[in-house]
């Protein structure tokens, strides 16, 4: 059993929580964002419903605009078929795009799936939920098949000026200059809207600002157009984790490590946290130990998550040893008081017999 997860910032704070019955309370630590870039962004087209806003909407449902983009990030020039499904199987509408846009009318609120098909592109699906009436817009991003000679698969090139803006933005983030990073991200967006490098920079800036839902949306676009964008997957997992969506955070974080086994230690730290929150304690222990080792002393507070995971699997003496080491080596850190409190609780509960 475990306690309900705490929300916190994976981009800025890493939270870990002990399972019920254990002696260790929730842990807070910092989880930094990876700052490497990857390119390759594709947008998806918008679709039209069989109904029209003029004849069916009347303020009772959702007037949905679907925008479909090609590999350049522009609305797709060719025709795409957009289908809307209710609860995944029941057809609720269909339309063809015009200049990459389609209008659909959703007459009943709830969960739907949007599917887009276009010649030369892989079919794209996206689950959406409508909880209130009004107007909304959804962007979908198509990935070109190898047979499509008009738009070759892979990442589009980034013009020199846009590349410079992205690089300077990432350098500003590394220097913890968020205002400058945001300025560079805005410039890059004007020069190359929809490019995956630009989207990644925007997503990282939003994470740093604590705008986790917006960051999730931007980073999802990057991963849709480039399914090999390892850092975007990692950042997406962090955005989900920041919102307490630990179960949803697992696939993109695992994908990031699959795409790039040398992913930064903060990706492993975030994944360890997600495993822990899902009561997958053996995996949390393995991943947190790997994160601590690969961080090379940059984030010693990961050791508290290691101690929690050791406690969760019943390895109390090893957990106590980890806590003692942290207190000895980092007495001036604020986490030292937490480590001492946890150590005292382990002793008081009879889990360990010496301090």
Q: Do the domains at 14-32+265-348 and 53-141 have one common CATH topology?
A: no
pLDDT for 40: 33
Extract the runs of DSSP E, i.e. beta strands, from 97-179: 101-106, 110-118, 124-130, 134-141
CA distance to 234, 255, 280, 314, per residue, from 194 (Å): 19, 22, 36, 48
pLDDT for 145: 67
Cβ-proximal residues to 101 (8 Å cutoff; 6+ apart), any chain: 45, 46, 47, 48, 65, 66, 67, 68, 75
Interatomic CA distance for residues 235 and 237, integer angstroms: 5
pTM to 2 decimal places: 0.61
Domain boundaries, the chain: 14-32+265-348, 53-141, 160-259
pLDDT for 21: 41
Interatomic CA distance for residues 173 and 155, integer angstroms: 23
Closest CA to 213 of 31, 6, 7, 27: 7
> For 14-32+265-348, CATH number?
1.25.40.10
Give the rounded distance of the alpha carbon of 340 from its chain centre.
33
Location of structure tokens 């799936």: 113
User: What does the pLDDT look like over 254-303, one tens digit per residue?
Assistant: 999 999 988 889 999 999 999 999 999 999 999 999 999 999 999 999 99
Q: Which residues of the chain have pLDDT under 50?
A: 1-8, 12-58, 88, 147-153
Domain 53-141 falls in which CATH fold? Answer: Immunoglobulin-like (2.60.40)
Give the rounded distance of the alpha carbon of 7 from its chain centre.
15
pLDDT for 83: 86
Tell me the CATH number of domain 160-259, given options 1.10.1670.40, 2.102.10.10, 1.20.140.10, 1.25.40.10.
1.25.40.10
Look up residue 252 and give its DSSP letter. H
């Amino acid at each position: 059993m475990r306690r309900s997860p705490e929300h916190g910032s994976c981009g800025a704070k890493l939270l870990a929580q002990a399972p019920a019955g254990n002696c260790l309370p929730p842990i807070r630590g910092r989880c930094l964002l990876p700052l490497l870039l990857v390119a390759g962004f594709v947008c998806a087209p918008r679709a039209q419903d069989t109904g029209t806003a003029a004849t069916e909407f009347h303020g009772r449902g959702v007037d949905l605009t679907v925008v479909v983009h090609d590999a350049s990030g522009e609305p797709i020039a060719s025709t795409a078929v957009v289908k809307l499904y209710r609860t995944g199987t029941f057809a609720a509408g269909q339309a063809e795009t015009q200049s990459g846009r389609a209008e659909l009318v959703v007459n009943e609120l709830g969960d739907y799936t949007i599917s887009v098909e276009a010649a030369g592109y892989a079919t794209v699906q996206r689950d959406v939920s409508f909880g209130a009436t009004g107007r909304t817009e959804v962007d979908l991003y198509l990935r070109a098949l190898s047979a499509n000679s008009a738009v070759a698969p892979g990442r589009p090139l980034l013009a020199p000026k846009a590349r410079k803006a992205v690089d300077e933005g990432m350098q500003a983030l590394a220097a913890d200059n968020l205002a400058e990073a945001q300025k560079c991200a805005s410039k890059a967006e004007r020069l190359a809207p929809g490019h995956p490098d630009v989207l990644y920079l925007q997503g990282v800036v939003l994470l740093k600002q604590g705008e986790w839902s917006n960051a999730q949306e931007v980073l999802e676009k990057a991963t849709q157009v480039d399914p090999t964008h390892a850092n975007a997957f990692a950042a997406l997992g962090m955005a989900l984790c920041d919102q307490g969506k630990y179960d949803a955070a697992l696939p993109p974080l695992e994908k990031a490590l699959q795409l790039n086994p040398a992913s930064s230690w903060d990706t492993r730290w975030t994944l360890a946290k997600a495993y822990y929150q899902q009561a997958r304690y053996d995996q949390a222990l393995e991943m947190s130990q790997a994160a601590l080792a690969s961080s090379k002393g940059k984030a010693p507070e990961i050791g508290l998550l290691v101690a929690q995971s050791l406690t969760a699997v019943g390895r109390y003496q090893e957990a106590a040893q980890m806590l003692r080491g942290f207190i000895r080596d980092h007495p001036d850190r604020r986490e030292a008081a937490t480590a001492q409190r946890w150590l005292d609780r382990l002793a008081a509960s009879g889990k360990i017999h010496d301090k």
